[in-house]
Amino acid sequence: MNILRFCINGQEREIDFSKPESPSPFCSVLHYIRHYEKLTGTKEMCGKGDCGACTVILASQTDSKGECNYRALDSCLLPLAELHGNHLLTIEAPADCMDTLPIREAFLKERASQCGFCSPGMVLSIYSHIKNGYPFTPEFIKRTLSGNLCRCTGYTTILQAALSLEKAGVIIKQNEKPLLFPIIENNSLNLRKNNESYIRPVSLTELKELLKDYPHLPLTGGLTGSGMTYRKSVIDVSHVKEMLACEETEDFITLGASCTIKDMSTLLGKHFPYMVPYLEDFASEQIRGKATIGGSLADGSPVGDIMPLCMAHNAVCIIMGPDSIREVFCDRFMLNYRKVDLKPGELILAVRFDRPAKNVFYAAFKQSRRKNMDISSVCLAATIKLINGKCHSVRLVYGGMAAVTAHALQTEKFLKGKVFSLSNCKKAANCIAADFEPLSDLRGSKQFRMDTAKNMLISLYQKYSEQNE
Ligand SMILES: Cc1cc2nc3c(=O)[nH]c(=O)nc-3n(C[C@H](O)[C@H](O)[C@H](O)COP(=O)(O)OP(=O)(O)OC[C@H]3O[C@@H](n4cnc5c(N)ncnc54)[C@H](O)[C@@H]3O)c2cc1C
Ligand code: FES
Ligand code: FES
């Protein structure tokens, strides 16, 4: 079947890719809505997930009774194929599908819009905030809007408009009817157009067959990392149900590699609450709801935020090949700059974490040029097992300090066996120079990185003492 079925603003659509006039399955949703649907309320600016001007809502059914979840996503990073089985809502949606009138009125009242270029995206992000039942505090609203940039109004009036909407959920609910969804028999896809193919398995059995047949086809997860560069033929693993699961046993928590960063924050965050604020600084709401754990690790970026957490926890990557499954400690997974331990035909199936242990202090810090929507200049994830106030085992994993995410081995060695104190952390900071010789680049000079890495060790102790006051 070479057909895509979805709904847009209350109407059903079917795209048959065999027809010459059809777009490509890789066409961005942004391009599709502006050029094929002639819905130009959604704006195009950066084209790479940085500004939120292109924000749309993707509603997916969560059960047969019509319950659905609403995700605000950047349509410039969303391939058309992702719409299959879902309902796409743009700023033009009629009120019985998506009632944004109360939000638009609040913008008017608070004068939260000038040129208006960012406003459709802002309105839709706030709509998803309301639909997801997030709290109406400045902190939560800033988090929701962290992926939406405004270059002229300033954020105070936008924040005021959003804060004034605390009760808007009730009005919105009254005006909206249940969303329509297309009837589809199978969620897996094999879409072909000219020499392009977009293959989306939904089960591990299907995926295994595909890996045998096409061992050299690139894989994609959320398409927010280097997955964005593939535009010809891919196997999209983000809908494989076994890779979306989270399994908890007495000893371990195993997250499927296609869980998003948002899922990770919910599923792991309940066991390791320190991870939640750290993961909330990952990109923006739009990216966190799309980027996957597997994609983050396989991307092999030395400034990625997920690998330091995995290494500090001594987590295990579960890797599946066409015929077998193997396990690799995350410590050994990154081989070199952007090179990871994956052979053709292999993929990351899941990542396994030990359950929280007694007497272990966990912390993570991220320093980036701006708080949100930026990859780290330097980050640190740490786990320290303390026995009678002394460091029994120490894992300090830095991102942004070398060509790969790496342990500060000398610093770990220095702290091991010593009392965990401010003075020892200050002394340990002097070992960082023996561990790393960072580069200077646009995210920070060598000196800045060294100073930040040292200061993070001091912050580590401060965090510990705050928690144990
Ligand atoms: C605006 C923006 C902001 C960002 N901010 C941050 C940030 O704050 N912190 C951060 O760390 N990163 C950030 N990133 C980078 C990006 O989000 C991450 O690298 C992301 O987690 C990649 O995940 P993905 O699922 O989108 O991967 P994809 O782009 O789909 O794939 C990335 C790579 O992984 C491979 N791959 C995907 N899934 C698997 C699998 N299961 N097994 C094997 N290989 C696989 C793909 O083939 C590809 O090579 C940002 C990106 C954007 C666009
Ligand atoms: S156009 Fe900027 S995020 Fe899509
Ligand atoms: S109102 Fe002009 S960019 Fe926000």
- The reported pLDDT for the residue numbered 79 is 93
Spatial neighbors of 398 by CB under 8 A, at least 6 apart, are: 308, 378, 379, 380, 405, 406, 407, 408, 435, 436, 453
Spatial neighbors of 150 by CB under 8 A, at least 6 apart, are: 118, 122, 158
- Tell me 146's DSSP state: G
Question: Distance between CA atoms of 217 and 227, rounded to whole angstroms?
Answer: 12
Q: Residue 346: what are its φ and ψ, rounded to 5°?
A: -105, 155
Q: Is residue 444 in contact with ligand 2, taking CB distance under 6 Å?
A: no
In terms of pLDDT, which residue wins out, 227 or 1? 1
- The reported pLDDT for the residue numbered 230 is 67
Domains and CATH numbers, the chain: 3-89 (3.10.20.30), 101-175 (1.10.150.120), 201-356 (3.30.465.10), 359-469 (3.30.390.50)
- Tell me 207's DSSP state: H
Helix (H) or strand (E) holding 392: strand 390-399
State both tokens at 98. 């998506």
Q: How many CB atoms lie within 10 A of CB 41?
A: 17
Least confident of 4-13, 159-168, 244-253: 159-168
- The reported pLDDT for the residue numbered 172 is 86
- The reported pLDDT for the residue numbered 375 is 86
Banded model confidence at residue 370, pLDDT cuts 50, 70, 90: confident
User: Hunting for tokens 């939640």 — which residue is that?
Assistant: 276
The model's pLDDT over 157-216, given as tens digits with 9 standing for 90+, comes to: 999 999 999 988 888 888 899 999 998 888 899 999 998 999 999 999 999 999 988 888
- The reported pLDDT for the residue numbered 360 is 97
Which runs of consecutive H residues, i.e. helices, occur in 147-213?
155-163, 168-175, 204-213
Which runs of consecutive H residues, i.e. helices, occur in 325-381?
330-333
Q: Is 417 exposed, middle or buried (0-12, 13-18, 19+ CB in 10 A)?
A: exposed
In terms of pLDDT, which residue wins out, 467 or 253? 253
The model's pLDDT over 30-69, given as tens digits with 9 standing for 90+, comes to: 999 999 999 999 999 999 999 999 999 999 998 777 689 9
Question: Distance between CA atoms of 383 and 391, rounded to whole angstroms?
Answer: 10
Question: Distance between CA atoms of 95 and 11, rounded to whole angstroms?
Answer: 13
User: Hunting for tokens 């199978």 — which residue is that?
Assistant: 186
Ligand 3 atom at shortest distance from the alpha carbon of 53? 3
The answer to whether the CB of 299 falls within 8 A of the CB of 225 is yes
- The reported pLDDT for the residue numbered 227 is 67
* Amino acid identity for residue 210 in this structure: L
> Does residue 387 register a pLDDT over 80?
yes
Q: List ligand 1's pocket residues with C-beta within 6 A.
A: 48-50, 218-228, 237, 257, 282-283, 287, 291-292, 294-296, 298-299, 301, 304-306, 342, 347-348, 373, 375
> Does residue 13 register a pLDDT over 80?
yes
The model's pLDDT over 413-443, given as tens digits with 9 standing for 90+, comes to: 999 999 999 999 999 999 999 999 999 998 8
Local structure of 78: helix, strand or coil: coil
DSSP states of 169-184: HHHHHHHPPPPP----
Report the pLDDT averaged over residues 383-387: 97
Local structure of 21: helix, strand or coil: coil
> Does residue 154 register a pLDDT over 90?
no
Pocket test for ligand 3, best of 55, 153, 155 (most atoms within 8 A of CB): 153
Banded model confidence at residue 468, pLDDT cuts 50, 70, 90: confident
Q: Is residue 246 in contact with ligand 2, taking CB distance under 6 Å?
A: no
* Amino acid identity for residue 127 in this structure: Y
The model's pLDDT over 71-85, given as tens digits with 9 standing for 90+, comes to: 999 999 999 999 999
DSSP E strands, 81-218: 87-89, 189-193, 196-200
Ligand 2 atom at shortest distance from the alpha carbon of 46? 2
Looking at every residue in the chain, the average pLDDT score rounds to: 94
CA of 304 to the centre of ligand 1 (A): 9
- The reported pLDDT for the residue numbered 186 is 80
Helix/strand/coil percent split, the chain, to 5: 35, 25, 40
Ligand 2 atom at shortest distance from the alpha carbon of 51? 2
Q: Is residue 73 in contact with ligand 2, taking CB distance under 6 Å?
A: no
CA-nearest of 179, 177, 182, 178 to 12 is: 182
Report the pLDDT averaged over residues 363-383: 92
Least confident of 7-21, 134-148, 172-186, 304-318: 172-186
Question: Distance between CA atoms of 222 and 230, rounded to whole angstroms?
Answer: 12
* Amino acid identity for residue 461 in this structure: Y
